[in-house]
Amino acid sequence: SQQGEEDPQALSIQEGENATMNCSYKTSINNLQWYRQNSGRGLVHLILIRSNEREKHSGRLRVTLDTSKKSSSLLITASRAADTASYFCATVDYNQGGKLIFGQGTELSVKP
């Protein structure tokens, strides 16, 4: 079953702009991960944030987590055409065996 719901479903921006994607989930989690998927490189792990963390950075990526609201956001700064892809959040709940449960994804299009 799907856990996360991503918002928006699709996002179109110009190169250089920032892109923000949101993820909401329903159950308790141990950590939340973000993945990118495009036709060229398949599904790639971007960043993991633990339930006791509020914010994490990796290069141009910034992830926040609010466990009280059961939500997370992924910010991509200074976007590039190469960032065009689908972005998925995936939650992990050790009470469910620790497996990844993916959301439906946000389709990001960055226009040059």
Partner 1 sequence: EAGVAQSPRYKIIEKRQSVAFWCNPISGHATLYWYQQILGQGPKLLIQFQNNGVVDDSQLPKDRFSAERLKGVDSTLKIQPAKLEDSAVYLCASSLDTGTAYEQYFGPGTRLTVT
Q: Which is nearer to partner 1, 73 or 88 (CB)?
A: 88
Q: Measured from the CB of residue 18, what is the shortest distance to partner 1 in angstroms?
A: 23
Number of residues counted as binding partner 1 (CB under 8 A): 23
Q: Does 10 bind partner 1 (CB under 8 A)?
A: no
Q: Does 112 bind partner 1 (CB under 8 A)?
A: no
Taking the alpha carbons of 35, 38, 40, 43 in that order, is the dihedral positive or negative?
Answer: positive
DSSP-derived pairing of the beta strands 10-14 and 106-111: parallel
Q: What is the rounded CA–CA span in Å between residue 85 and residue 106?
A: 8
Site string for partner 1, 27-66 (x = CB under 8 A): ---xx-x--------xxxx--x------------------
Number of H helices and E strands in the chain, helices first, is 0, 11
Question: How is residue 95 annotated by DSSP?
Answer: G
Structure tokens at 67: 């466990």
Please report, as ranges, the residues that interact with partner 1 according to CB under 8 A.
1-2, 4, 30-31, 33, 42-45, 48, 88, 90, 92, 97-105
